[in-house]
Structure 1
Amino acid sequence: MARIAHLSDIHFGANDPKIVDAATAWLDERRPDLIIISGDFTQRARIAQFKAAAAWLNQLRAAGHKLLVVPGNHDIPLYDVVRRFAAPLDRYKRYISNDLCPFYEDEEVAILGLNTARSLTIKDGRINHDQMDRVRACFGPVPPEKTRILVTHHPLFAMPIGTGGELSEAVGQHDDAVVAMCEAGVHLALAGHFHRTYAESARKMVERAGGALVIQAGTATSTRLRNDEPQSFNWLHVRRNNEIEVQVIVWDGAGFQRASHVDYRHDGEVWEARDMAEGPVVGSMAKRVTR
């Protein structure tokens, strides 16, 4: 079994240091096999914000944690127009990671991260055909018994983003991206961006979407909350034979606590959820996780 902590939308520059410290303590105590951070390390891609984010990542690495990270749209300068188009991810590559398509593999999982942040789209995401080819190339040789995980900042699918059932825009070139994901046999698609938790079988969202389970992380440490959903991150137990446990770990004002615990099993067509939580489910999107 692989134990993975999935954090997103850290937003140094608009974060709560107390919550950052609590998240660090939680991770140090639980010792995940891998920490995934799916973008938005900064609020406005400023040097001081990147330095603060880099210091935190170095603290995690010094404690022995393995990391896989991808950038988000907030890691591209918004107001510095020249830098935005001439060197959009130069600071990210200098302070966070020079690898925009990181790949990790062990005996249990194979994980590929892709950069979906673009200069032109401002906040929306996009995947190009070279990246789709990389998905196929990276996952093609992976043994069938391993769980294949794709990590992006922007979700590949249109996602519920409010309490009224409204949907976001899907990532750019969505249809081709879904085909590549299906052909590569992706089991899990992890993302962030909307500061809301969510999980659903891709096939229930889009026809011919393949066998992936789509998992969204909320914001782990940002003060920019949406729809009153508190800071949170996901704690995943990835087992072979198409079994995944998803725990939503939520900030309660004093520390991080488990808010929901859902066991997902793949029946050959779609992922079905069985709620294992005894405590309350936090946040309207978290309710979707445990239905």
Structure 2
Amino acid sequence: MARIAHLSDIHFGANDPKIVSATEAWLTERQPDLVIISGDFTQRAKVEQFKQASVWLNRLRGAGHRVLSVPGNHDIPLYDVFRRFGAPLDRYKRYIDNDLCPWFEDDEVAIQGLNTARSLTIKDGRINHDQMRMLRERFADVRPEKTRILVTHHPLFAMPIGKGGELSEAVGQHDDAVKAVCEAGIHIALAGHFHRTYAEAADRMVANAGGALVIQAGTATSTRLRNAEPQSFNWLHVRHHNEIELQVVVWDGASFQRGHHVEYRRANMMWTAREMADAPVPGKAVAEKGAAG
């Protein structure tokens, strides 16, 4: 079984230091097999914000954590036009990771990170055809029993982003990207960006989407909250590519507590969900489940 902590939208420059410290303490106590961070390390891609993020990452690595990360749209300078279009992710590569599309593989999982952040858009994401080709090629030789995981900052599909049922924009090149994900045999698609937790079967979000389970993370440490959802991150137990536990770890104002805990199983080409016994504490935010739940 692979134990994965999935954090997103750290936003140094608009974050709570107390919550940052609490994430470290929680991870050090649980010792996941891998920490995944799906973008937006900074608020405005400033040097000082990247330095703070780098110090935090170095502390995680110094505590023995393996980390896989991808950049987010906030990791590209917004107001520095020269840098935005001339060297958009140079600071990310200097302070966070030189590899914008990192790969991780062990005996149980194979994980591909893809950079969806682009200079030409302020907030939306995009996957290009070179990345789609890499996705197919890297998973081509992965043994079928391994769980295949894709990590992006922007979700591949249009996501519910408000209480009224409104949907976000899907990533650019959406149809081709979904086709590449299907051909790569992705089992789990992890993303962030919208500061809200969500889980749904991909084929219930868009036609011909394959068998992936789409899992969104909220913001782990940002003070800029949306829909009154508190800071949180995801704790995954990947037992098999057809059997995944998702627990949302939620900030209650003083510490991180166990929130919504759901077991997802896939059989006969369909994902079903079962609530686990340790239900969330009443009054605290939980993961929103779509039709998969």
TM-score of the aligned structures, taking structure 1 as reference length: 0.98
Cα deviations by residue, 1:218-261 (Å, 9 ceiling, x for unpaired)? 00000010010000000000012510000000000110001110
| Match in the other structure for 1:249 | 249
| Aligned position for 2:159 | 159
3-state DSSP class of the match of 2:260?
strand
> In structure 2, what is the equivalent of residue 141 of structure 1?
141
Shift of the alpha carbon at 1:267? 1.2
Is contact 1:3-1:34 (8 Å) kept?
yes
For residues 20-52 of structure 1, give each alpha carbon's deviation from its aligned partner in whole angstroms, at most 9, with x where no partner exists.
000100000000000000000000000000000
Q: Helix, strand or coil: the match of 2:288?
A: helix
Superimposed CA distance per residue, residues 88-118 of structure 1 (whole angstroms, 9 cap, x where no aligned partner): 0010000000000100000000000000000
Q: Which residue of 2 aligns with 1:10?
A: 10
Q: 1:108-158 deviations in whole A, cap 9, x for unaligned?
A: 000000000000011000000000001101111000000000000000000
Is 1:26–2:26 an aligned residue pair?
yes
Q: List aligned pairs for 1:194-209, cutoff 5 A.
A: 194-209=194-209
Give the alignment's Cα RMSD to 1 decimal. 1.3
8 A contact 2:195–2:226 mirrored in 1: yes
Q: Look up the SS of the partner of 1:60 in the other structure.
A: helix
Residue correspondence of structure 1 range 131-280 to structure 2 within 5 A: 131-240=131-240, 242-276=242-276, 277-280=278-281
CA contact (8 A) 1:262 1:289 kept: no
- Alignment partners' CA distance in 1, 2:236 and 2:10: 19
* Counterparts of 2:258 and 2:285, CA distance in 1: 13
1:83: how far off?
0.4
Secondary structure of the equivalent of 2:74?
Answer: helix
1 CA distance for matches of 2:40 and 2:48?
14
Q: Is the 8 A contact 2:260 2:286 kept in 1?
A: no
Shift in Å, 1:210: 0.1
C-alpha change, 1:161 and 1:284, in structure 2 (3 Å) is farther
Shift, 1:270, TM fit: 2.1
* Partner-residue secondary structure (3-state), 1:261: strand
Equivalent pair of 1:38/1:70 in contact (CA under 8 Å): yes
Structure 2 counterpart of 1:156, one-letter code: L
For the 8 Å contact 1:204–1:270, the answer to whether it is kept is no
Alpha-carbon shift at residue 269 of structure 1 (Å): 1.5
CA 1:287–1:157 in structure 2 vs 1: closer, same or farther (change >3 Å)?
closer
**TM-score using structure 2 length:** 0.97
Aligned amino acid, residue 48 of structure 2: A
Amino acid at match of 1:70: V
Does the 8 Å CA contact 2:248/2:287 hold for their aligned counterparts?
A: no
**CA distance in 2: counterparts of 1:258 and 1:287, whole angstroms:** 16
Distance in 2, Cα, partners of 1:285 & 1:244: 15
Amino acid corresponding to residue 200 of structure 2 in structure 1: E
Matched positions, count: 291
Once residues 280 and 169 of structure 2 are traced to their aligned partners in structure 1, the CA distance between those partners, rounded to angstroms, is 33
Q: Deviations over 1:50-93 (max 9, x none)?
A: 00000000000001100000000000000000100000001000
SS in 2 for 1:245: strand
Distance 1:119 1:140 in 2: 30
8 Å contact from structure 1 (residues 232, 250) kept in 2: yes
Tell me, in whole angstroms, the C-alpha distance in 1 between the residues paired with 2:124 and 2:236: 26
Q: Cα deviations across residues 196-219 of structure 1 (Å, max 9, x unaligned)?
A: 000000011111100000000000
User: Could you say which residue in structure 2 is the equivalent of 1:286?
Assistant: 288
| Aligned position for 2:51 | 51
Measured in 1, the distance between the counterparts of 2:51 and 2:103 equals: 24
| Matched residue SS, 1:259 | strand
